[in-house]
Amino acid sequence: MALNQSYDLFFIFIFNLSLLFSLLPFSFSQTVADAPSPAADTCNGIFLSYAYTSGTKLKPTDPKHQPYRFESVLTVLNNGDEKLKSWRAFVGFKNDEYLVSASNAVLADGTSLPANVGNGTIFAGYPMTDLKTAIETAGDLNQIQVQVKLLGTQFGVAAPGVPLPETIHLANDGFLCPKPSLQGKSEMQVCCTKDPKFKTNVTVEDEFLPRQSGDLTIMYDVTRTYDSNYWAQVTISNHNPLGRLDNWKLSFDWMRDEFIYTMKGAYPYVVDSSDCIFGPQGQHYRDLDFGNVLNCERRPTIIDLPLTKANDTTMGMIPKCCRNGTILPPTMDPSKSSSVFQMQVFKMPPDLNRSELSPPQNWKINGTLNPNYKCGPPVRVSPSQFPDPSGLPSNTTVVASWQVVCNITRPKNASPKCCVSFSAYFNESVVPCPTCACGCLRNSANTCRANATAVLVPPEALLVPFENRTAITRAWADLKHFTVPNPMPCGDNCGVSINWHLYSDFSRGWSARITIFNWDETAFPDWFAAVQLSKATPGFQKMYSFNGTALELNGVNNTIFMQGLPGLNYIVAETDAANPQKDPRVPGKQQTVISFTKKTTPSINIAAGDGFPSKVFFNGEECALPSMLPTNSGNRKGSTTVISILIAVLVFMLVQQ
């Protein structure tokens, strides 16, 4: 009997306990910030910690490169007296980590997850970008602290080892972070404080961060907003004097199930609404005709419209739109250095009110033969202002604005897309583009040598495609007693090659000839090139077939910028020869002579290397340079030149037959 009473009391206790939980104003499924580490109490700045929580061995088994799952938590806590705006934290991963997911943050370089982060990465806050102070929130951890739960794969660190990063620190400007300290074996901590020497133009009262400068900026301006959708204007602006985009493609990630209903001034690369029809969007917008929806991808790719759509009342009529994806540097034409489009974005619950606005994340932009751009996260800035469309002398302010800053970078092990060859009046041979300058195919080892030094060639070899140079190169090597490896070195595989030729050198001046070859099937309208001559640029005088100007970069006058003259600013694509069955294809070509004076550079030594550029750019892309210069060894042109050319051409013709 006593046992039954005990059971009754137990069940009554459980029932009352469940009733109590049901009356609480929150549920256990709610996200509540964990209490900070006790070490945070001694930090009067920004406290960061990285705690490894768990890990397991993964398949496949590989003793040399064994994968392990890891879970960890990155904590950023604002213990300072000022709001931390757009927080950014660096985690120095060192175990070839492959990050699968991260809560409450995105990668600051615009990379979408999953991603390789083995060389370290910077996290940026999302959706909570700012961390308030304990003073203004009465210590509410949900407003002053963010915890990023990380899940990924690391290689080589098995239990009982702990795969901690090399370091952690705050990536925001104006903070000093000492070396992190270990808390046990599975956690590292650091307290970052304000740098008293750091000067900023931002005051505590500023609601938004100031707009930043960069090689390329993207503005995301919300111009009109409604409960279920809004209109956004995207402005891509080029600020780098040598930056450029051709046939640009812009991509980003929707983070809250948004989708693009319609666009003006640009268009999705893929028009597809199936993800909406079979997804939560179709369940919510039951009366919406998804046949008119342009794109429902989580990561859409946007392309520019052709010039013919500029005055189209449905797709165009947006200033600075529809330029076929070309964004020129401001040094060429400021009016063509930006591109604009608009899109109508539909939102999903719980964001169905006109004040809930969230920009897409993980922005990326690239072109065809252009520099690589790495973009940061969108940062909330003061609302943009545009001239009143009615023509009145007033400005119209948008609802909200975010800025994305992109800078030109060269990824590790990335190949360029153009190359340079050197030649000179004092040497009959041309130093060609480096072997595999723009990359080589994986199976090329069977037919050519990717690690062999390029063989010197006669000038006429530059006029034919690389695959047609073998006979000419071998004939020239036999004539000049050059060593030729077997198999021959691989080609440069570049779509554009540039020859820099020292044309003359005399007491009062010197000259060079530059020839641009287009081996690609794509033409280059409004092309430009630039060369850096560290000692010779001050003596630049004139360019005869191009429009050339001396350009000052970063306060240094060492660059010559060149573009085609009006009517000659178009390099055609590679075409068939007059007799395609017999003759090799013909590249598009542009050429000019450049003259220099020695009056301003009296100590210059042209033949010793001062007359060769240290950097060459084509359409913003930095080209690969030869590893050596032509030598002044007394091998001057003479009667042997004509004979050698005849022999080379004769051998070439015999081989072709």
Residue 488 lies in a domain: yes
One domain, residues 120 and 181: yes
pLDDT-based confidence at residue 457 (cuts at 50, 70, 90): very high
How, if at all, do strands 395-397 and 372-375 pair? unpaired
What is the reported pLDDT for 441? 78
How, if at all, do strands 266-268 and 301-304 pair? antiparallel
One domain, residues 188 and 232: no
Question: How many domains does the chain contain in total?
Answer: 3
- DSSP code of residue 196: T
Residue 304 lies in a domain: yes
Report the Cα 637 to chain-centroid distance in Å: 46
As a whole-number percent, the residues of the chain with pLDDT over 70 amount to 89
One domain, residues 570 and 427: yes
Residue 542 has pLDDT above 90, yes or no: yes
One domain, residues 118 and 178: yes
- At 139-161, the pLDDT tens digits run 999 999 999 999 999 999 998 99
Q: Which of 363, 391, 409 is the last residue of a domain?
A: 409
SS3 sequence of 519-532: CCCCCEECCEEEEE
Largest CA-CA distance found in the chain, in angstroms, rounded: 124
What is the reported pLDDT for 568? 84
- What is the average pLDDT across 195-211? 76
One domain, residues 226 and 183: no
One domain, residues 362 and 468: no
pLDDT-based confidence at residue 204 (cuts at 50, 70, 90): low
Q: Which of 409, 432, 455 is the last residue of a domain?
A: 409
One domain, residues 471 and 552: yes
Residue 16 lies in a domain: no
Domain extent at residue 230? 216-409
What is the reported pLDDT for 375? 96
What is the reported pLDDT for 636? 47
Residue 199 lies in a domain: no
- What is the average pLDDT across 108-113? 93
One domain, residues 300 and 176: no
Q: Which helix (H) or strand (E) holds 13?
A: helix 2-23
The rounded distance, in Å, linking the Cα atoms of 481 and 471 is: 15
Residue-level length of the chain = 657
pLDDT-based confidence at residue 629 (cuts at 50, 70, 90): very high
One domain, residues 322 and 380: yes
How, if at all, do strands 418-424 and 427-431 pair? antiparallel
One domain, residues 331 and 393: yes
One domain, residues 367 and 485: no
What is the reported pLDDT for 649? 44
CA distances 190 to 49, 231, 518, 557, Å, are 6, 42, 53, 43
**CATH number of the domain that residue 562 is part of:** 2.60.40.290
Residue 234 lies in a domain: yes
Q: Taking the CA atoms of 147, 152, 158 and 163 in sequence, report the sign of the dihedral they define.
A: negative
> Would you say 108 and 123 are in contact if contact means Cβ atoms under 8 Å apart?
yes
> Would you say 139 and 40 are in contact if contact means Cβ atoms under 8 Å apart?
no
CA distances 375 to 229, 260, 334, 407, Å, are 26, 22, 22, 7
Q: What is the pTM of this model?
A: 0.85
- At 293-344, the pLDDT tens digits run 999 999 999 999 999 999 999 999 999 999 999 999 999 999 999 999 999 9
One domain, residues 226 and 110: no
What is the reported pLDDT for 486? 86
- What is the average pLDDT across 7-28? 42
Report the Cα 96 to chain-centroid distance in Å: 21
Residue 14 has pLDDT above 60, yes or no: no
- At 465-516, the pLDDT tens digits run 998 999 999 999 999 999 888 889 999 999 999 999 999 999 999 999 999 9
Residue 207 lies in a domain: no
Residue 28 lies in a domain: no
Closest C-alpha among 117, 352, 111, 106 to residue 226:
352
- What is the average pLDDT across 288-295? 95
* Exposed / middle / buried, residue 640 (Cβ in 10 Å: 0-12, 13-18, 19+): middle
Report the Cα 8 to chain-centroid distance in Å: 68
